[in-house]
Amino acid sequence: MPARPWKGEWIAMCYLLAVFAVLACAPLFLPPYLKALLSSILLWIGMAVSWHLFCGSTKYVSLGSAAFFGIGVYVTAVFQRAMPFPLILLLAYAISFVFALGVGAATLRLKGMYFAIFTFGLAELLNNAILFWEMKVTGTRGRFVIAMDTYHYILIITFMVLALTIFLRRTKLGLALRTIGENEDTAAHIGVNTTFYKIIGFALSSAFMGLLGASFAPRWGYIDSGIAFNTLYSFMPAIMTLFGGMETFFGPIIGAVVLSFLEEYLLTAFKDYFMMILGSIMIIVILILPEGITGRLQRILGRLA
């Protein structure tokens, strides 16, 4: 049990619920284009905050978000005709969770580069494996998805991740993850079961990515493994979090909002240069703005005060 009551967290939850209520009603007043844009932004916030949940606190860098997102997309595509949508979401959550447990168990017992390397090719691995399966076994290429409006599902999931982040900070799990990020040897030394917490933290964060993938899939009428496991979904959560700032709650949110708008603009204005510009931003952020926007702001404000 925490030493003080969860007062701050509940206040934060009240703000969060207020924002949630506004966003839940927003589609009533928005034209379809803005609604689609808003659900993209919410998706990216969800992805970035999920990424930050594990990678931000432990400082273990995952380049495999697209693998879990893609699992979610495929779960929807395969089971959409067989069961109601909430059940699909539950299934996507469970499968991503178990898959992440496996990945974590293989790589997170060890320190260092193993986790990064393993996650780096993970999306491509699943992409190839599904491609092979479709080629040899089912003889198909991709799948059709029944289009439906999932705005509110994405909204709820993203806010679940946000609420989890708020409360996780002071639970044993959140504390353990942050201690690992500060100094893993010390954490192990004072009796934190680092492997266990790393694996659970990673599975929790990845399962939400699967959930978001499953809820976003009906936006496309047709999906194939290339769409589902696109590198973009591995890259964006990382760059959004870094851009916004690793150390704060608002970092990934601000990063996601800014870069979603940028994505929207670049995709319409400079489609061919889109990925190259994103890559350049990543390089520039690491070299010039290593603490992110929120970190830099905090420092400037701190100097003024």
Partner 1 sequence: MSLSFVVDIVIGGAILGALYSLIAVGLNLQYGVTRILNVAHGDFLMLGAYITYFCFTLFNINPFASLVIVGPLMFAVGLLIYTIMLRRMIRQSKSPEEVESRSLLLCFGLSLVVQNLAMILWTANYRGYSAPSLGAISIAGVPFEFNRILIAIISLIINVLLYLYLKFTKTGLAMRATTDNPEGAQIVGINIHNAYALSFSLSIMLSAFAGTLISMYSTISPFIGLPYTLIALVLVILAGIGSFKGNIVGSFIIGYLAYVTLRVIHSALMLVVIYAVLIIILLVKPRGLFAR
Instruction: Give me the residues that bind partner 1 (CB under 8 A), please.
Output: 59-61, 63, 106-107, 109-110, 112-114, 116-118, 120-121, 124-125, 128-129, 131-132, 135-136, 231, 235, 238-239, 242, 272-273, 275-276, 278-283, 286-287, 290
CA angle 55, 102, 119 (to 5 degrees): 45
Q: Which is nearer to partner 1, 26 or 289 (CB)?
A: 289
Shortest Cβ distance from residue 195 to partner 1 (Å)? Answer: 13
Q: Which is nearer to partner 1, 258 or 278 (CB)?
A: 278
Q: Which is nearer to partner 1, 118 or 159 (CB)?
A: 118
Shortest Cβ distance from residue 192 to partner 1 (Å)? Answer: 18
Write out the two tokens for 59: 């400082």
Shortest Cβ distance from residue 50 to partner 1 (Å)? Answer: 17
Shortest Cβ distance from residue 176 to partner 1 (Å)? Answer: 18
Distances from the Cα of 111 to the Cα of 105, 107, 116, 259, angstroms: 12, 8, 10, 31
Shortest Cβ distance from residue 223 to partner 1 (Å)? Answer: 18
Q: Which is nearer to partner 1, 7 or 272 (CB)?
A: 272
**Phi-psi category of 145—alpha, beta or left, where left has phi over 0 and alpha has psi -120 to 50?**
beta
Q: Which is nearer to partner 1, 32 or 272 (CB)?
A: 272
Number of Cβ within a 10 Å radius of residue 229:
30
Shortest Cβ distance from residue 65 to partner 1 (Å)? Answer: 12
Q: Is the dihedral of CA 25, 76, 228, 94 positive or negative?
A: positive
Q: Count helices and strands (H / E) in the chain.
A: 16, 2
Q: Which is nearer to partner 1, 144 or 273 (CB)?
A: 273
Burial of residue 10 (number of CB atoms within 10 Å: 0-12, 13-18, 19+): exposed
Distances from the Cα of 264 to the Cα of 7, 12, 46, 189, 201, angstroms: 38, 30, 17, 47, 31
B/e letters for 77-109, b = 16+ CB within 10 Å, e = fewer, are bebbeeeebeebbebbbebbbebbbebbeebbe
Shortest Cβ distance from residue 101 to partner 1 (Å)? Answer: 14
Task: Single out the residue of 213, 247, 214 nearest to residue 233, CA to CA.
Answer: 213
Q: Which is nearer to partner 1, 89 or 187 (CB)?
A: 187
